[in-house]
Chains A and B, each alone.
Chain A
């Protein structure tokens, strides 16, 4: 394998991994802190992509469209938490699975009613629509690099917020002992609502910024959801660090799986997960 070709695959793998991390971090936070298995998380990814696509018909800047899509996603996330998820904190995990499964159906149908069953694309914004030439035949699109940079910056920002701020302290405390946090007089309802909304925003943002390189279509939320669960479980449920490493591992496994064994690409992701869980039954960082 050519060294440049290899490097490009590594960059693709890392870029996909960073994107997966953005989606999966919300999922793992919501599970770690609130104890909720949220199957509708992938729907927020879809929501972000479709909102951006829809807003782009009115505003002509991708940046502005994404900026407008985020508060809408946050509001939808907060409302769902306040109206439905809140009822389920003391219930069995399987009730949560069932309720959020119902939500997926509603999201998918709402998407079909509002935007139809077609697959759409979003143009790469001007200024980022060129490629860096690596060799005679190979080049690398700048948008993918920008995407990786944004994801990496957000991951770094998340690290700072969680490690250095009071809100982050509550989150860490909530992840290790929920009841104790409530006993300390922290407004848990508000904290949970905020975590859910932040998770929704992170997923929506990922869907929006990935839209120019992936297509937007029905069912996009379902496929990302399953991959994100794989990431979360490999890393150890509730662990942000684990989600980060798990995401990179899956990003690289998927990319190289597609290059080396195109017929069994999807097999590789699940193969990695099976091996990890058989060696460490509670994930890498539980």
Chain B
């Protein structure tokens, strides 16, 4: 992935700073809704993490997955199952355990799925996602279709001293914020590495990559596993936030929403899908507040964006800002 145009980088950094300062100025700007909005934004940032992890598969490696929510849901269920019923779990134990379990599941699903390609890949991942959904939905294990509660949020302690209180809304906001920024930077570094370049090349032309002597299967599998694991991290955080997990978090509806965020935001741009998550969730919130029939304007907005912005919001921003920076450079 090439570097962002400087002016776009500035705009994005400013937006991130604004997001970082929200808990400070939110009380003043939205006195009535501050607590609600902070909670909402925390949820959106977690969804943005999921959208970026899906972009690694869809936009970069060309692996269109419709089962990505399975890993998100599994991350949440791992926390629910590993937490003692009436006591706090130790984050330093449950987080790595969750990530390892999700990575393992993603590696298995990925290994089986990447034998197929194109629409067949979409459908195989859908099948595995739905199998995960029905596994948690139909079996009595972990609450069945009712889902499961996480009564006490995990404790974050160093040498017996609590360093983060995840029950605090503002702390959780910054955990979500930190994860969003951290995952974005991590993925940027990954994509700039030799590994990332091969993965991007596979998304463009897999045969040539094979011709150059790389084995695409290995690269796709590693990318799939990384993407799945990050989605698991997002699901883990969402489960901490809501204190609840249910099978719907694994369902294809959820996978589909994440995919819509990615396409809407602009595939392969990484910052685009994060913006897509914000646009999708904020539009839903706005339309819901305006009318009972919010799906109508939501659908119309999505159709309009497809027709007007073929490369998504991220692609549009790149176009606008790269044209501007060329003018600035006197080209």
Contacts and interface: CB of A to CB of B under 8 A. Distances in A.
Given A94-B267, A105-B298, A109-B293, A278 B119 contact: no
A97 B122 CA distance: 11
Interface in A98-145: 98-99, 101-106, 108-110, 112-113
Contact of A109 (B112, B123, B134, B299): B299
A45 interface: no
Contacts of A105: 295-296, 298-299, 302
A95 B262 CA distance: 11
Given A87-B307, A101-B256, A102-B302, A273 B123 contact: yes
A84 interface: yes
A266 B130 contact: yes
B300 interface: yes
B271 interface: no
B119 A98 contact: no
Nearest to B144: A263
Contacts of B298: 102, 105
Contacts of B293: 109, 112-113
B295 A106 contact: yes
Contacts of A230: 123, 127
A102 B303 contact: yes
Interface string A228-261: 0110010001000000000000000000000000
Contact of B130 (A93, A263, A270): A270
Of A88, A113, A233, A282, most B-chain CB atoms within 10 Å:
A233
Interface residues of A, number: 42
Contact of A264 (B138, B260, B264): B138
A179 B260 CA distance: 30
Given A91-B310, A102-B306, A274 B299 contact: no
Interface in B100-137: 112, 115-117, 119-120, 123-124, 126-128, 130-131, 134-135
Contact of B64 (A31, A94, A237): A94
Interface string B290-331: 000111101111110111001000000000000000000000
Contacts, number: 117
A102 B302 CA distance: 6
B263 A94 contact: yes
Contacts of A264: 134, 138
Interface residues of B, number: 41
5 contacts: A105-B302, A112-B293, A112-B295, A229-B126, A281-B115
A95 B295 contact: no
A37 interface: yes
B138 A103 contact: no
Given A97-B259, A263-B138, A267-B134, A274 B303 contact: no
Contacts of A277: 116, 120, 123-124, 127
Closest 3 CB pairs of A and B: A105-B299, A102-B302, A109-B295
Interface string A27-64: 00001000001000000000000000000000000000
A283 interface: yes
Given A270-B127, A273-B127, A110 B296 contact: yes
Contacts of A112: 293, 295
A226 interface: yes
A157 interface: no
Contacts of A237: 119-120
Contacts of A113: 293, 296
B299 to A, nearest CB: 3
A254 B139 CA distance: 18
Contacts of A103: 299, 303
A271 interface: yes
A97 to B, nearest CB: 7
Contact of A106 (B116, B259, B263, B300): B300
Given A263-B139, A274-B128, 7 more contacts: A98-B263, A98-B305, A99-B306, A103-B303, A229-B126, A267-B134, A271-B131
Contact of A104 (B115, B299, B310): B299
A248 B307 CA distance: 38
A101 B139 contact: no
A274 B300 contact: no
B322 to A, nearest CB: 21
Of B138, B253, B295, B301, most A-chain CB atoms within 10 Å:
B295
Interface string B178-195: 000000000000000000
Contacts of B302: 98-99, 101-102, 105
A266 B134 contact: yes
Contacts of A99: 302-303, 306-307
Nearest to B64: A94
B252 interface: yes
A122 B52 CA distance: 46
A98 B313 CA distance: 13
Contacts of B264: 98
Interface in B43-98: 58, 64
